Copies of this chain bind each other. A is one copy, B any other.
Amino acid sequence: MPSRLLADVQRGDFRALARAISYAENGVEDYSAQLAGLPPTTTPVVGITGPPGVGKSTLVDALIDHYVKEQKRVAVLCVDPSSTLYYGALLGDRIRMSDWYNHPAVFIRSLATRGSLGGLHPRIIEITDVVRQAPFDQILVETVGVGQNEIEIAGLADTTLVVLAPEAGDDIQSMKAGLLEVADIFVVNKSDRPDADLFIRNLRSMQTAAFRKEGRDIPVVKTVAWQKQGIEDLVRYIDADREKPSAVEKRYRILAEQAYLLIQQQRMKGVDRKSLAATIEELSKDGSFNLYRFVKDFPI
C-alpha cells in the first residue's frame, strides 16, 4: 500500500483500513514486503468459533459492548463461507451486529472464504497484521463453524473461544475433535436453558477423558449473550489466558503455523488446480499420463 495509506491506517482512519483490506482481499496488493519492514505490533487477537446456531454473533455483539464501555477500540473480522448455501443464515447473524457499524470505536469487516471448501481467507494472516497496524485495543475474529475454518482459527488467534450451546447431551459426542482441541476457553452460551448444567457436566467429563495425559484444564464460562450475562466473567478469563506462563510458548507456535502457511503460499505460487487439470487432460489423451511421473517432473 502507498505509505500514505499506511500512515492513515496507523492513525486510525477506518476508510483507509477498509481500503487496505480490500486490496489484500482481492489480491491487488501483496503486503508481505511492506509488513517485513514494520515493527510487529501485539494487539491481542481473540478467535470466536463453534457450530452454527450457538449465538456466536450475539456473543461478539456483547463483547463489543463490553469493550466500548471500557473506552476501548475494537476491530471485528467475520470470516464467512462464500457458499451460496449460507447467505440467508449469515445475513440474520450480521444484522445483530449492525448497531455497531457506525460507532467511531468499532470497525467491522466481513471476509468471504475463497475456495468453497472452507478454511480461512488465504490472506487472513496479512489482513490481521494490517489491522494490527491500526490503533485497536482488541481484535476479534469470528468464524462461522462450517468447513475447516473453525480449526484454522487456532493458528491465528492468541486466545480461541469455542462457543457451544446446551443441546441434547450426545451432541457433544459428535462435536468435531479438532474443535475441542483448539479451545482455550469454552463458552457455554444460552446457559439459562434448563439442560445447561447437564451439558456442562458432560463437557467437563469429556475433557477430562481427552486431556488427562496432558494435564490441560480448559475453563468453561457460562453466558447468556443476548442478555449480556457472563460477559465480564468471560473477559476476565480471556485476560487470564494471556497472562498464563504458557502464553509465550504458544505465541511461538502460532507464529510457526503462520510462517508455515506463508512459506507454503510462497512455494505454491503459480501452481493452480485449474491449469493442472487442463495439462492433465492434454497429457491423458494418448493414455501416457502418470500422476507420479508428472509430479516428479513438475518444474520447481
Residues of A within 8 A of B (CB): 31-33, 35-40, 51-53, 81, 83-86, 89, 116-118, 125, 129, 146-148, 151, 173-174, 176-178, 180-182, 206, 209-210, 213, 249, 252-253, 255-260, 262-264, 266-268, 271, 273-274, 276-277, 280-281, 284, 289-296, 298, 300
Contact = CB atoms under 8 A, between A and B. Distances in A.
Contacts of A263: 268, 271, 295, 298
22 contacts: A32-B295, A32-B296, A35-B290, A36-B290, A53-B173, A53-B174, A81-B177, A83-B210, A116-B178, A117-B182, A118-B148, A118-B176, A118-B178, A146-B176, A146-B178, A147-B176, A259-B280, A259-B294, A260-B276, A263-B298, A264-B264, A264-B268
A257 B273 contact: yes
Given A86-B177, A266-B295, 6 more contacts: A33-B296, A36-B290, A38-B290, A147-B151, A255-B291, A264-B267
Copies per complex?
A: 2
For the residues of A in contact with B, the DSSP-based class is: helix
A151 B118 contact: yes
A210 to B, nearest CB: 5
A51 B266 CA distance: 34
A232 to B, nearest CB: 30
B292 A177 contact: no
A152 to B, nearest CB: 8
Contacts of A148: 118, 147-148, 151, 178
Contacts of A267: 264, 267-268, 300
Nearest to A182: B117
Contact of A83 (B53, B177, B256): B177
A280 to B, nearest CB: 5
A147 B280 CA distance: 30
A24 to B, nearest CB: 13
Contacts of A83: 177-178, 181, 210
Nearest to A255: B280
Given A280-B252, A284-B252, A292-B35, A85 B116 contact: no
B178 A147 contact: yes
A271 B260 contact: yes
Given A257-B273, A260-B271, A32 B292 contact: yes
Contact of A256 (B117, B173, B213, B273): B273
Contacts of A206: 85
A81 to B, nearest CB: 5
